[in-house]
Amino acid sequence: MSSAEVDRLTVAGIELETLRRGQGATLLLLHGFETISPEARFLERLARRFAILAPSSPGFGNTARPEDVSEVYDLVRLYLELLEGLPDDRVSVVGFSFGGWLAAEMAVACCHRIRKLVLVDPLGIKVSDRETADILDIFNTHPRDVAPRRWRAPERWAPDFNAMSDDAIVRYARGREALSVYGWHPYMHNPALKRWLARIKVPTLVLWGAEDGIVSPSYGRAYSALIPGARFTAIENAGHHPEIEQPDAFVDHVLAFLET
């Protein structure tokens, strides 16, 4: 990461590695399986309209994870505290994958500091029967099988560990360890969240990669239907990360939503 774009933001006594870019109204980005790269095309475009705030959650990137931070609700409370400390009356929040789960939980718990909500292929709920896996188990599935489920074009976008620096590999491994702490059991969802999504009272856009094999578009439509007034949009030619594989289409949808 570029040191010019990354600083430390202290919330509830925890120093969060935080990527900042752009000017204007604050837009909080909550990352998914990995932290957000400052080189991401979608980030560059969003920063032309907003002041981007993209923290690395405890255990991810260069943010330490205190021993008493071990549950999704710890992260939800942490980010609600972050919102309370910002000068903006209300802040729009974009959550990706695991971060989409966090963003949904935040909006369920407390909407008064959230202006608009964008959920991008979020995890967090169970929509099928107990015998049906809604969310691919990325920990117990071979990486060669995860990659084509995660990416439409894995040959272009899947991590190439042979080409990564030692620091980048350590960063990746730390993130996987933290993700397993927060989402191991029950796997990547909160059994109670499905019931309470109806509490979300802010305008919500649910974006989905049309070829997502981690959580299918049908899961996304079910998720969206549980949030009053939410709009669902599928982005073609993208897997679990439409913001990476189709950044221009992704940003077009986000800006049209946030700026109306």
pLDDT by residue for the chain (260 residues), tens digit each? 443 488 999 999 999 999 999 999 999 999 999 999 999 999 999 999 999 999 999 999 999 999 999 999 999 999 999 999 999 999 999 999 999 999 999 999 998 999 999 999 999 999 999 899 999 999 999 999 999 999 999 999 999 999 999 999 999 999 999 999 999 999 999 999 999 999 999 999 999 999 999 999 999 999 999 999 999 999 999 999 999 999 999 999 999 999 98
pLDDT attached to residue 3: 38
pLDDT attached to residue 1: 42
pLDDT attached to residue 4: 42
Residue 199, number of CB atoms within 10 A of its CB: 13
Residues in the chain, total = 260
Residue 238, number of CB atoms within 10 A of its CB: 26
pLDDT attached to residue 53: 98
pLDDT attached to residue 158: 94
pLDDT attached to residue 130: 87
Query: Using one digit for the tens of pLDDT, what is the confidence trace for 99-121?
Result: 999 999 999 999 899 999 999 99
pLDDT attached to residue 111: 87
Which fold, 6-258?
A: Rossmann fold (3.40.50)
